[in-house]
Structure 1
């Protein structure tokens, strides 16, 4: 068991996401950085759909009520177990009574914004519509359908289970870098209404930097930059959307739909951040700047293959560590 010792950290229980429910008006939810979640689960030998704690606001503290292996992935938060500093992207062992503290994210240009605390066996909460992810708007899933708060107690499904620990990974931000002129970037496919915008606006979208404003959260990222102007006013009926879709409201300032996005919307679709890069966007801090890189369908598929190849390599490295002889 673990006990949450922090208030107002907006931490939630998340797994890879709730698929297959869009037709009922239920969004996907899930980890903002699914790559960090997948890697943490691999390190602990968890099922691929195991849930973890996603932490976007710091400091964050929890107490282990029993011995439990855990992995820290995502943002480097200068973590400590009691007074002992911990490596990020590393598998650790906690003893009953120890307190895990996550501080402010570190890393300069590589700084992330969300940490994943993965527990042996995953966070044990009920499955709702095929997922353990918290759906904040619908107030279901996760732990009582809400963000965690001080005093909440969660169970690790594999607490006490023997796990290989004391090893770690090179973060994907270093092994799969993507920047333009030193600014973090994501790849985008032009969407249905792309050609309905002025040529100068289309050029500015790719050439400029875009600030992630304070009006950004798990539902969507509101950006600030040169306004995108349509050739003519576009009035559209609501239509299906998914995480990654970039919509342009009347202000001309784009909104990128994120994991808690509603499943429909009526604004014109300018582009879509490819699935392989959504983890990069999920780690972009509020107030930071990003660039967009135009890509093709074939390049988007190849990028997914690249991410899977990285995860396959992680799986092999973890297996090698588990099978290595231990010194007495």
Structure 2
């Protein structure tokens, strides 16, 4: 028998074909929303975390540089005797320019035979030659600031490198200093008498000062008038360096006689191609060295500006 009318209606109800797609889309939206929320959570944690904070090293360094003092003041006690440089330090500063390569017959630092031929009078003979100069070697190696003790140290160092020990012939200056002080004491004690004798002359000074006062009072007006001209004539700091003085301190030992092909001072033909190359090229060669010429003429204590001033002096004198 056929079923009832209600049963037939229930079995004949068609299924909705969009139900599953809609369900899947809804699930995907929910998953995407959860993913966005989780991502935002991790981003928030990362931003608020101190790990991986911005590197402020450069800012700190810039702040320290801004706080650095513009200059410093060094107090020097002149009663303390300056410590003499070691023989190696003096050699590297001055002597190396000739005694490393044996320029103009100078004994090389490690040539024992060359040094033995000069030891006829021992260390004193070598010291006499170094202090006063010999042949092409200038007095004190061209640096008048070198003390006798430093010269002695340099000679002992060079001969020691050649296998000759002269350290036993060195002299100590301390006892002599004590003797000088003892000898000076009587002269100091006699000073009160000299001061007493000089008193009448000093008492006459007020009258002389009073006579000179009108002339001195006129000086401020003259100084005020001369001040603008002096300010206008003030040279730049670089121009204040005396190139001739630097030249005569060290450069002359080679450039006066043309050692190892160096251009002689005043030789226009030798200097012409160097001047044509420009100042920067000449400065670079003098500062860094070229061929047999050591950097800064063998004296690294000289500043770049001093070397440039010496080059300008030589070039201008050779045009």
Which range, TM-score by smaller chain? under 0.3
The answer to which structure, 1 or 2, has the higher relative contact order (CA under 8 A, 6+ apart) is: 1
TM-score, normalised by the number of residues in structure 1: 0.17
TM-score, normalised by the number of residues in structure 2: 0.18
Which has the larger share of strand? 1
The structure whose Rg is larger is: 2
